[in-house]
């Protein structure tokens, strides 16, 4: 939770705002519950608008500083919480909210641990006296959907180790992607896949299905559908249990590695 002081339009009598999340653990398609509490200052203040949103850190490969890709805060969902209202001096105004988590929201948790490289949270924006002030980021933990967990477990059972995760600005063609960025989860390859350095995994879900994008021997910034090292397939979010995902992934890796004499 974070505190942010706001001054009245004439520079006197500051109000403060605090956002409290009831439960920070969510899944894509779920709802994060919370409450925004506004503490009145020494004078009444007119609040012109209040909203909460979701924000994350996204990497841009097209912009670099000192040879490093630039990361920027990207807000990808926002919800208005009612209309204008007045906060009296010294009074507390509490506004409960439920913020929907888009199905495409990247996961930030894996095997009970935070994914290195992921920054995700709820932001609070208060409009007061023709000014806009944003509060601190209140972190949330986005856990995998059951279908996503099944794919992640398959990589683990094959011996792949988590390397890192990041968000890339851009669009993967041929998918159901609607957000302006996508997540890449990178795995180190186990010894039995000699010649293979790593595999990258991307989930892009909606309310019924998800696209699973896999790539090995990656060329930075490119998803070239015609190459052997790329595979995209669709998984039903309800009927995914009938597939042995470890066997599926191993067969694809063996086919590609065999053709390239990697294994």
What mean pLDDT do residues 80-98 have? 88
pLDDT in tens, 176-197: 999 999 999 999 989 888 778 8
DSSP per residue over 188-252, as a string? Answer: EPPTTSTT--EEEEEEEE-SSEEEEEEEESPPTT---TTSTTEEEEEEESSS-TTS-HHHHHHHH
CATH 2.60.40.640 fits 3-56+75-111+119-142, yes or no: yes
What ranges do the domains of the chain cover?
3-56+75-111+119-142, 146-259
Higher pLDDT, 28 or 127: 28
Q: How far apart are CA 10 and CA 8, in angstroms?
A: 6
pLDDT above 50: residue 223: no
Q: Is 128 helix (H, G, I), strand (E, B) or coil?
A: strand
């Amino acid at each position: 939770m974070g505190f942010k002081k706001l001054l009245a339009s004439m520079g006197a009598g500051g109000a403060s705002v605090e956002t409290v999340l009831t439960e920070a653990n969510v899944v894509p398609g779920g709802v994060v519950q919370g409450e925004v509490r506004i503490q009145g200052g020494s004078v009444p203040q007119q609040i012109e608008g209040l909203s909460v949103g979701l924000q994350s850190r996204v990497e841009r490969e097209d912009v670099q500083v000192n040879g490093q890709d630039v990361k920027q805060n990207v807000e990808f969902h926002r919800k208005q919480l009612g209309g204008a209202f007045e906060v009296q001096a010294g009074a507390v105004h509490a506004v409960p909210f439920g913020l929907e988590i888009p199905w495409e929201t990247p996961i930030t948790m894996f095997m009970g641990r935070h994914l290195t490289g992921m920054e995700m949270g709820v932001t609070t924006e208060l409009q007061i006296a023709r000014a806009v002030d944003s509060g601190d980021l209140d972190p949330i933990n986005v856990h995998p959907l059951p279908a996503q967990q099944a794919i992640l477990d398959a990589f683990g059972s094959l011996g792949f180790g988590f390397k890192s995760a990041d968000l890339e600005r851009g669009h993967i063609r041929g998918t159901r992607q609607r957000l302006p960025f996508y997540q890449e989860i990178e795995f180190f390859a186990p010894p039995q896949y000699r010649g293979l350095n790593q595999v990258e995994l991307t989930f892009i879900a909606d309310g019924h299905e998800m696209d699973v994008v896999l790539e090995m021997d990656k060329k930075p910034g490119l998803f070239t559908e015609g190459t052997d090292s790329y595979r995209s397939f669709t998984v039903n979010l309800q009927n995914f249990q009938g597939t042995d995902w470890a066997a599926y992934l191993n067969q694809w890796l063996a086919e590609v590695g065999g053709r390239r004499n990697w294994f």
